[in-house]
């Protein structure tokens, strides 16, 4: 299958290029970047020398990509607001769109405007898009023409919590999630706050109490609980290149730790990228780097009656590029691990 990537010069885009270049069932025929247009891909990304030597970055143009007859699936690795400029023309041309931005993750345009500070740029495409976190996605999602790839933080929270809320193992209020992300989660930007001397040896909270990803998290957890779910989400910037570690405290509703693990095992027993660790083992971000895996474990604090759940993932893989490829695999009816077997 022939694929293209729009906006491939960021950290997540680079990982996506690497994955698609090595995918046994995919030909990567177009890569766009406004900043790198005209440059050989292997010159901008030296790690790809020998595999993409004949490919150059093209100018990012929605109509040009939409008009290409040799492309079947387009990955959008551009910021929110920009992705919507491409999704409409490309989807209307009959191509599949897998969007890694936030433009189509939130179903309600009013909530999007509340969290992103601007009206939704394309409500028509939004009405036809479907949110796809493969492990919890709705039945029939492969019929849509636009797939919204989940955010990195939401993935680290939704995977452990969704089946527990669905099974009423945990409560739907009083939930607190503390997440730590590597600096690559902020993308490539010239900003003093993300310079080496500013982040090395230091960690800080940011985006509290209403980080943009909160809207996405609460909408999907509400789907699990069939009602409102309120969560306190506290993201932090950590002095590491990549990776996410999340700790969730949630009322147990009287359930035991065995009940929790049974719910996880029932839900994820056939999902190769969810690794359920023993209750006495804490996930560590370094062991998920360069994989599409998410590691989860939990204990029960008998003193407070809360479960304490921990998850770890690579923000650029399961949190972005790897998950996008996983979505493509499932949409095509391929094994979901195709091209991702190292994780």
Convert the pLDDT of each residue in 88-135 to its tens digit.
999 999 999 999 999 999 999 999 999 999 999 999 999 999 999 999
Q: In what order do the strands lie in the sheet with 2-6?
A: 57-58, 27-32, 2-6, 73-76, 96-99, 146-148, 129-131
Q: Choose from 45-54, 162-171, 187-196 the range with maximum mean pLDDT.
A: 162-171
Alpha-carbon dihedral sign for residues 42, 81, 105, 283: positive
Determine the pLDDT at residue 9.
Answer: 79
Range(s) for CATH 3.40.50.720 in the chain? 2-149+320-332
pLDDT at 333 over 60: yes
Report the pLDDT averaged over residues 267-293.
97
What sections of 59-181 are H helices per DSSP?
62-66, 83-92, 109-116, 123-128, 152-166
Contacts of 239 (CB under 8 A, 6+ apart): 183, 199, 200, 201, 202, 203
Contact 165, 157 (CB under 8 A): no
Q: What is the pTM of this model?
A: 0.94
Q: Is the pLDDT of residue 321 over 90?
A: yes
Tens-place pLDDT, residues 221-267 = 999 988 899 999 999 999 999 999 999 999 998 999 999 999 999 99
pLDDT attached to residue 192: 67
The lowest-confidence range among 51-60, 79-88, 172-181, 319-328 is 51-60
In whole angstroms, give the CA distance from residue 157 to residue 155: 5
What average pLDDT does the structure give for the chain?
Answer: 93
Mean pLDDT of 4-31: 92
pLDDT at 11: 87
Q: 160 pLDDT band (50/70/90 cuts)?
A: very high
Q: What percent of the chain has a predicted confidence (pLDDT) above 90?
A: 79
**pLDDT at residue 343 is higher than 50:** no
pLDDT given for residue 188 in this prediction? 65
Burial (CB count within 10 angstroms: exposed 0-12, middle 13-18, buried 19+), residue 111: middle
pLDDT of residue 91: 94
Q: Do the beta carbons of residue 29 and residue 109 sit within 8 Å?
A: no
Residue 322: per-residue pLDDT: 97
- Average pLDDT (308-333) is 97
pLDDT at residue 200 in the model:
82
Delimit the CATH 3.30.360.10 region(s) of the chain: 153-313
Is 191 or 175 the better-scoring residue by pLDDT? 175
User: Average pLDDT in the 49-65 region?
Assistant: 87
| Among the listed residues 314, 310, 311, the one whose alpha carbon sits nearest the alpha carbon of residue 323 | 314
Looking at CATH, the fold of the domain delimited by 2-149+320-332 is given as Rossmann fold (3.40.50)
The pLDDT assigned to 44 comes to 85
List residues with catalytic annotation: 152
CATH architecture for the domain at 153-313: 2-Layer Sandwich (3.30)
pLDDT grade, residue 54 (50/70/90)?
confident
* Model pLDDT, residue 230: 92
């Amino acid at each position: 299958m022939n694929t293209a990537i729009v906006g491939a010069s960021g950290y997540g885009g680079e990982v996506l290029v690497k994955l698609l270049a090595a995918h046994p069932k995919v030909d990567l025929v177009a890569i766009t970047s406004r900043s790198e247009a005209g440059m050989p891909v292997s010159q901008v990304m030296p790690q790809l020398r020998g595999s993409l030597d004949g490919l150059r970055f093209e100018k990012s143009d929605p109509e040009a990509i939409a008009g290409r007859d040799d492309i079947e699936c387009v990955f959008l690795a551009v910021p929110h607001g920009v992705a919507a400029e491409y999704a409409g023309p490309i989807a209307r041309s009959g191509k599949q769109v897998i969007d890694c931005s936030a433009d189509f993750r939130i179903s309600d345009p009013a909530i999007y405007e509340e969290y992103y500070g601007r009206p939704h740029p394309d409500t028509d495409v939004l009405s036809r898009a479907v949110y796809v976190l493969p492990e919890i996605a709705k039945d029939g999602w492969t019929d849509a023409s636009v797939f919204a790839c989940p955010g990195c933080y939401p993935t680290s929270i939704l995977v452990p919590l969704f089946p527990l809320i669905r099974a009423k193992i945990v409560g739907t209020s009083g939930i607190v999630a503390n997440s730590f992300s590597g600096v690559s989660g902020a993308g490539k930007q010239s900003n003093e706050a993300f310079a080496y001397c500013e982040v090395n040896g230091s960690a800080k909270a940011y985006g509290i109490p209403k980080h943009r990803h909160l809207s996405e998290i609460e909408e999907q957890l509400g789907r699990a609980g069939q009602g409102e779910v309120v969560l306190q989400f506290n993201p932090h910037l950590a002095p590491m290149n990549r990776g996410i570690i999340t700790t969730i405290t949630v009322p147990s509703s009287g359930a035991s730790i065995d009940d929790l693990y049974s719910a996880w095992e029932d839900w994820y027993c056939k999902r190769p990228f969810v690794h359920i660790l023993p209750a006495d083992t804490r996930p560590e971000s370094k062991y998920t780097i360069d994989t599409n895996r998410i590691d989860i474990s939990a204990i029960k604090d008998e003193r407070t009656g809360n479960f304490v759940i921990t998850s770890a993932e690579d923000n650029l893989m399961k949190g972005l590029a790897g998950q996008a490829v996983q979505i493509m695999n499932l949409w095509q009816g391929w094994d979901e691990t195709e091209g991702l077997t190292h994780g």
